[in-house]
Structure 1
Amino acid sequence: MLLSQAQIAIVTRAAAALDDDAPEKTLEDFFGEELGLNTLERANLIPDPDPSLDGSVNISELTKARDTLLHESGKIPSYVVYNRPGSRNPFISGIATYLSSLAGNSHSEAAFLARLRQRDRVRTELLSFAKGHDLELLAAAIFAKSCDFGDATAGSGDQGIDAIAGKS
């Protein structure tokens, strides 16, 4: 059974509203809870086997919504849709929950997850930069961190970001 456009809107909004630390659940349960479906209706959304590919199409709606958030809005989605090795069920969880399950609990991984949780604030700050020298300073700072040197340069009048960097 394919999701209707109204159902797709409901589940994509619910997925986008998931917290970074949202626990893992099967997509069947997620769809069922969000759409108020009974057990049989849930099973028909992601059948196994899936000869009509309706289940794959339903799953793809969430990955398409993630792609839209990322590419059109420039936002890192708070959720991930995935298949866990050894399981036939597709899952959804918060992005931090998923990333934590892939790695150990090292200090660098914890620091990365803490930075990830600040992504909306960082995005807002970056979008507030005025064109001109603010962007050159940002480019120079990024270059300085990843190269041996980085600096803002005088504007060339080409509407680009004027910065230079190099490695020794």
Structure 2
Amino acid sequence: MNTGRVFLGKKEYDNSLDYFAKALEMYKGVLPEQHHSIARCLCNIGCVYEDQLNFNRALEFYRQTYEMNEKEAMDVCIKKLAEQRVNLPQNHPRIGHTRETIGNIYSETDNAQALVFYHEALTIFERCMPSEPKATADCLEHNSTVYSNLGTFDEALKYRNKALDILGW
């Protein structure tokens, strides 16, 4: 893959694409489907197309990279949440933070699902972390943003005001 980057730097786009395509084929043959090296290779191919001002083609590869990274992040969080459920009390703050992180991932693609995880995190923070109001306020802000994205502005404002109250603003 480094050779592909050298050719990209020299603006030898055809050679760069050839090397990245070979690397991608090799990686797909020996690595797990969601491996970060495959994502990096897809991103590099996107860079070549972007340098060629072929933005639509570049976007295709960037989107594949994003989806792979998003799926990998979600898989890690779901696994972490499962481990936490076994090893920690149900309302442990770390479970709240993991739920909030999953909400962050979903907020890019599925606002309704993001709200489910944000609400679960918020419940944990409100019960278990009264001495750490910033975590609760941050989670309220996440809820507010999603409600705003959904066009339910009164609900968004309710969460935003509650966050500001907690922070003493």
Relative to the length of structure 1, the TM-score reads 0.31
Where relative contact order (Cα < 8 A, 6+ residues apart) is larger, the structure is 1
* Structure (1/2) with the larger helix percentage: 2
| Structure with the higher strand share, 1 or 2 | 1
